[in-house]
Structure formats: structure tokens, C-alpha cells
Structure 1
Amino acid sequence: MIAALFVERNGCYFGIPDVDPWDIWRDARCYAGPHPVVAHPPCERWGRYWHGSPRKPHQFKLGQDSGCFAAALTSVRNFGGVIEHPAHSSAWRWFGLDTPPQAGGWVMADSFGGFTCHVEQGHYGHMARKATWLYAVRTDLPDLVWGPSPQRLSPIALERHGYQKARRSGVMAYIGGKNKAAIRAATPVAFRDVLLSIARTALRPMIEAAE
């Protein structure tokens, strides 16, 4: 069994026989084991606009996420598994984690035996590149598809504005309407499966100890 923490209600982690999803209603900060985890703690207060929107800046404090990332970090260190967060998340610096190289590959992140890497979800089916950092503890560290994923541009933007503006805007600027944020945040099924496969390897020491 794998516990999927801080996931979207009725999202891609629901309906899988060996996955126990914890959405906002279950409050993943209360998870107490014993299963390995895949954690997607909220990223709003750790990213580029942690302070609020450009139109209304300084509404929030850096890291003001009600303890979600700290809880995810505790869970993955206690029970094994992997955390997913946007690349360049300020949570890495805040919690003393070394940052991974953009070219890819796993590197040691801390003294707790954690490893981190930079990978783009565009390689796994996301319509944007969606650069991501992972932090894994007591798991196998698989080779992923490293480096930049293919650039995807909006045909409408290319036709109307040319390559440079289309590149700066990105494909997500022209897709999704009111659902844009949800589409951007969604985890592709192929990438979900990669994260679950990493977390499942944390079961091995437990199984071997019981034999």
C-alpha cells in the first residue's frame, strides 16, 4: 500500500487498489504511517509568487502553507517515499535541502539519506514542460528522462503574435480557460506511475525484514 498525500480530490490517485489517497478533507498533515508515501504538498507559498499575485503582492509570507511541506517531509523521512514540488521551490532552501542540477540525475540532498533531482513532466505527458524537483528517501533512484522536454507552442499564438511572444507566453496561456490552474497543476498519469513505482521500492526493506 502507498499513501498519496496532499492530492486532488477524485484525481488521478483515486481508484487504484494499492493506493490510499489523502485529499484536503482527510488532512494529510495527520498521516501517521505506516505505508510509504507519494506527497504533493501545496506549492503556492513556495513558488515565484509566494507573496501573492503581481497585482496584489505581499499578501502572504514565504512558506505560509499551514505546515504542509513540513508534514510531507516528516512522512517521507519516517516511512520512505517521494515528494514532488515545482522546480526552484523555496522549500528546498528553507528546509536545508541541496538543490539538484537542471541537467538531471539524482544527487544527495541532506543528512537524512534523502536524494533530489530535476525532471520535466513534459516528458511524461504534461502539455507544458512543468519543471519539477523530487525528494526521495529510502527508495530506489531510477533513471528518468532527463533534460528539457519538447517545447510546445500554441498554433494560435504563433499565427497571431509570432514565435518570440508565443515562446514567452507558453502553451498554457492559451489553454484551459477557467480551468487553466487545474490543468497546469494536474499530474500526468505516466508521471504518477513513476512516482508510485519509486515509493513502492521503499517497501522492500520492510518485506525483507519480515522474511
Structure 2
Amino acid sequence: MIAALFVARDGCYFGLPDVDPWDVTRDARLYAGPHPIVAHPPYERWGRYWHGSPRKPHQFKLGQDAGCFAAALTAVRNFGGVIEHPAYSNAWRWFGLAEPPHTGGWIKADRFGGFTCHVEQGHYGHMARKATWLYVVKCETPEMIWGPSPQRLPEIGLRRHGYAKARRSGVMAYICGKNKAIIRAATPLEFRDVLIAIARTART
């Protein structure tokens, strides 16, 4: 059994055999084992705009996530598994984790036997490159697809603005509708399967 913590309600971790999903209706901070985990703790207070919207800066404090990342860190160190967060997450520096090289490869992350790496979800089915950092404890560290993933720019952006501006904007800038944030945050099935496979190698 794998516990999937801080995942989207009715998302890609639901309906899988031997996976116990913890969405917003369950408080993943209370997870007490005994199974290895795949964790996607909230990232809003750790990213580039941790302070809030650029229009209203300093609405929040750095790391003000109600203890979610700290709880994921405790769980993964106790039971093994993997944490996924956006690349360059301030949580790494805050909790004393080594920052992985953007070129890829696993490196030692801390004194708890953890390893970390930089990988792009665009290699695993996401429409954007979606640079990501992983933190793994008590598990095998598999060879991943390292380096930049293919750049996908929509034809409409290239026609209207040219390559340079379309590249700066990124593919997600041309996604319309209220589900844009959900699409951006979604974990591709292929990448989900890689994370679950890592967690299944956990040594207790």
C-alpha cells in the first residue's frame, strides 16, 4: 500500500489498487503510517509568489502553509517515499535540503539519508516543461529523463507574437478558462506512475 498525501480530490491517485489517497477532505498532516508515501504538499507559500499576488505583495509570510511541508517531510523520513515540489522551491533552503543541479542527477540532500533531483514533467506527459524537485528517502533512486523537456509552443502564440515572446510567455499562457491553474498543477499519469514506483521500493 502507498499513501498519496496532499493530492487533488478525485484526481489521478484515486481508483488505483493499493493506493490510499488523502485529499482535502482528510488532513494529511495527521498521517501516522505505516505505508510509504507519495506527497504533493501545497506549494503556494514556497514558490516565486510566496508573498501573494504581485498586485498585492506581502499578503503572506514565507512558508505559511499550516505545517504541510513539514508534515510531509516527517512522514517521508519515517516511512519512506517521495515528495514532489516545484523546482526552486524555497522549502528546500528553509528545511536545509541541498538544491539539486538543473542538469539532472540525484545528489545527497541531507543528513537523514535523503536524495534529491531536478526533473521536468514535460518528459512525462505534461504540456508545459514544469520543472520539478523530488526528495526521496529510504527508496531506490531510478534513472530519470534528465535535462530540458521538449518546448511546446502553441501555433496561435507564434503567429500573433513571434517566437521570442511566445517562448517567454510559455505554453500555459495560451490556455483559457477557469481550469488553467488545475491543468498547470495536475500530475501527468506517467509521472504519477514513476513516483508510485519509487515509493514501492521503500525500505522500512
What are structure 2's unaligned runs of at least 5 residues? none
Deviations 1:160-207 (A, max 9, x none): 1111110011010111421110000000000000000000000xx44x
Identity %: 80
**Which residue in 2 is equivalent to 1:200?**
200
Higher helix share: 1
What are structure 1's unaligned runs of at least 5 residues? 207-211
- Rounded to whole Å, the distance in 2 between the matches of 1:168 and 1:157 is 11
- Rounded to whole Å, the distance in 2 between the matches of 1:161 and 1:69 is 39
Deviations 1:79-122 (A, max 9, x none): 00000000000000000000001000000000000000000000
Report deviation, 1:157. Answer: 0.8
Report deviation, 1:155. Answer: 0.7
1:48-59 matches, cutoff 5 A: 48-59=48-59
Q: Is the 8 A contact 1:33 1:75 kept in 2?
A: yes
With normalisation by structure 2, the TM-score equals 0.99
Matched pairs, number: 204
- Between stretches 160-169 and 171-180, larger displacement belongs to 171-180
**Which residue in 1 is equivalent to 2:116?**
116
**Which residue in 1 is equivalent to 2:74?**
74
**Which residue in 2 is equivalent to 1:19?**
19
AA aligned to 2:124 is Y
With normalisation by structure 1, the TM-score equals 0.96
Report deviation, 1:154. Answer: 1.4
1:178-189 matches, cutoff 5 A: 178-189=178-189
**Which residue in 2 is equivalent to 1:209?**
none
